[in-house]
A = this chain, B = another copy of it.
Amino acid sequence: MSTFGTAFRVTTYGESHCASVGAIIDGCPPGLELSPQDIQTQLSRRRPGQSDLTTPRNEKDMVHVQSGVEMGVTLGTPIGLLVKNEDQRPHDYTETDLYPRPSHADYTYLEKYGIKASSGGGRSSARETIGRVAAGAIAEKYLKIAYGIEIVAFVSSVGKVHLPSTLAPPSLTPINDDENDDNVEDALSKDFVHLLSSITREDVDKHLTRCPHKETSDRMTQRIMRAKEANDSIGGTVTCVIRNVPAGLGEPVFDKFEAKLAHAMLSIPATKAFEVGSGFRGTEVPGSRHNDKFVADASGRLRTVTNWSGGIQGGITNGENIYFRIGFKSPATISQAQETAQYDGTAGTLATRGRHDPCVVPRAVPIVEAMAAIVVMDQLLMQNARASAAKLLPPITTLPPTMVIPKKAL
């Protein structure tokens, strides 16, 4: 339904053309300095009308905090917030009324609810994500201050234009296709690993595409403009890294860290695919190469030599960088005429006008970051609950060495 999270809970409301969209964020730690600008920054990265690459629908998307914050500090109580829908123009969509738009949610919402919102695609609207971005910004503020956690997402491909293989996630790296040759080590490129460790939002925002590599970004821009000019659309992928997450987050067995991440990411409109760490490529790399061997760092802490695991092992974070990739399909809303059927089955031609994104991935970047922040925050609080309880117990003296030696070592 419209609530996500257990200890850090986000509930959103709002459709494309109603009075406002908003969210209630429950479980935020008290005592966090929080200004509207903390939230606005990410909302502005998400909002439409930022550039030629996005929809001309132009909304300021100003956040109004209703509760839970006083004198710029969170109270620990639910934070209510909303963004008004200023630019409703409900008549943009009237011509489509006889047709369920192909690959849009018109048909399925009608099947589900038996009633059709006159105003666009209801809850499947991208405007619904405003509440998530706001919630994520709050989570992120906490995570940064308390743990130094950094979350950076970037566009890794648009259509068939992708980052050079040295900078690409494992699954975008070409390998020899000889099924008897196991040599795929290059798939985890050192440059990519370095990119994960160093990339900042400033790097990402240097280019309108939010791809951090200029030459690729330029080709992506061309690809998007080609789609725009053809009244067509194109998809892409977003890669995201989360740095400095403490080890131990993630709840076996159903709420593994990657399972919650996948849930969160596939709940973003237009997503079709998710992979973490080595992803699909990891299915091709023999265990002997794919295993991330341990080594002690200068402080004696165990680290992994490689990071095929993407910072998660057995569903629990291991302290390494968490990285994952999400596939966004080409937007369903295009201005080309489409041969399709009306609700009553009559075949016809649907010609949609309106303001559409030819490609959503540049604007999806802050949404991915937000959902990542929400997942980390919720998992962190759940782990806190148990770990802080365990700390109060006396040490166990009766366990066999095989169960305590490791503990002593720490």
Contact = CB atoms under 8 A, between A and B. Distances in A.
Given A24-B24, A273-B276, A393-B29, A68 B235 contact: no
B279 A327 contact: yes
Interface in A243-261: 247-256, 258-261
A345 B302 contact: yes
Interface in A300-319: 300-302, 304, 308-310, 312-319
A57 interface: no
Contacts of A336: 288
Contact of A24 (B13, B33, B313): B13
A6 interface: yes
A363 interface: no
Given A30-B115, A65-B19, A288 B338 contact: yes
A160 B146 contact: no
Contacts of A410: 110, 114, 343
Interface in A109-125: 109-119, 121-124
A279 to B, nearest CB: 4
Contact of A393 (B32, B328, B400, B401): B32
Given A266-B256, A283-B330, A114 B390 contact: yes
A226 B178 CA distance: 14
Contacts of A273: 171, 273-276, 279-280, 282-283
B384 A115 contact: no
Contacts of A237: 280, 283
A272 B283 contact: yes
A316 B103 contact: no
Nearest to A105: B314
A41 interface: no
A161 to B, nearest CB: 5
A26 B7 contact: no
Contacts of A317: 108
B146 A389 contact: yes
A225 interface: no
Given A105-B315, A116-B403, A117-B70, A75 B15 contact: yes
B403 A247 contact: no
A265 interface: yes
A262 interface: yes
Interface stretch (A42-50, A78-86, A195-203): A78-86
B295 A406 contact: no
B313 A108 contact: yes
A51 interface: no
**Top 8 closest A-B pairs, CB basis?**
A105-B314, A296-B345, A13-B80, A233-B287, A235-B283, A263-B263, A108-B316, A273-B275
Given A1-B251, A103-B287, 4 more contacts: A1-B382, A13-B80, A29-B386, A107-B318
